[in-house]
Homo-oligomer: A and B are copies of this chain.
């Protein structure tokens, strides 16, 4: 594999998986103080559009990475608006 592709995959893994510790923290503590609700509204809308884009251009990497991030970001958004 080329260097650029390796760096691209590592980048995608890191930005996708970074939302896992945030999701775990929010689910475990139910503490969403300091977290911006507007950020997660915009972010989740953006992820859904990335997912649609990935499906439209038939790019499995784009679809999968954004689907995974959506799985981690959704509980953060839901708990944020339940708990305020």
Measured between beta carbons, the chain B residues less than 8 angstroms from A42 are 14-15, 17-18, 21
Q: How many copies of this protein are present in the complex? A: 2
Interface SS of A by simple majority: helix
Check B14–A45 contact: CB distance below 8 A.
yes
Contact B15 A50, beta carbon cutoff 8 Å: yes
Contact residues of A between 38 and 57, Cβ < 8 Å to B: 38-43, 45-47, 49-50, 52-53, 56-57
Contact of A4 among B18, B22, B57 (CB under 8 A): B57
Determine whether the beta carbon of B22 is less than 8 Å from that of A36. Answer: yes
Contact with B along A44-84 (1 / 0, CB 8 A): 01110110110011000000000000000000000000000
